[in-house]
Amino acid sequence: MSNYANTAGPSFQLAKSLVPSEIKPGVSVATVSAVLQSKDNKHVLQPVPKPAPVPPSKKRKRVMEEPPEVLTPKPLLSGAVPLEPFLATLHKNGIMEVKVEETADGHILHLQAEDVLIQLEEDGTHIICDNNEPLRTALRDLVLRFLQKL
């Protein structure tokens, strides 16, 4: 049986560029954009190379495809939505009738006038809202205010 710990890992340059964020005591995460290079059954993550600029030419050539644009990854979101501040935010935004039910994993909020359910759990949030996309989007934005960007 082979030992994978000796055959895979990030390059020194990539490892040096990582910026970990602590999400819980003792738990840190970092986003990585890299290219996997494999040679002789050894695998190394290398930083994504920057495209070389194409020198201008006076000769007429076929239009060349431009290299794909390297997009920065969207920030990861983490954390639990605190119940009392979230309820206060709902009230500030005109949602007054909220029935709160405690569950084993968190809370279920029933917005009675809007006929919407919001499940707030430690590892996920669900907004159940039929046929009212503007309201669902507004509620999503309120939830996102409480999450930590990594």
The last residue of one of the domains, among 54, 73, 92, is 73
pTM: 0.58
- Partners of 7 in beta bridges: none
- At 128 the pLDDT is 93
Convert the pLDDT of each residue in 9-53 to its tens digit.
777 787 888 888 887 788 888 888 888 888 888 888 888 877 666
Question: What is the DSSP code string of 47-81?
Answer: EPPPPPPPPP-SS--PPPPPPPP-PPPPPPEES--
Among residues 21, 46, 73, the one where a domain terminates is 73
Show the domain range for 15: 1-73
Cα–Cα distance between 125 and 11 in angstroms, integer? 36
Tens digit of pLDDT at every position of the chain (150 positions): 444 445 667 777 878 888 888 877 888 888 888 888 888 888 888 888 776 666 666 666 565 555 556 666 677 787 889 999 999 999 999 998 999 999 998 999 999 888 999 999 888 899 998 888 999 999 999 999 998 776
Residue type, 137: T
CATH of the domain at 92: 3.30.310
98 with 126, same domain?
yes
- Total domains in the chain come to 2
Task: Tell me 15's DSSP state.
Answer: H
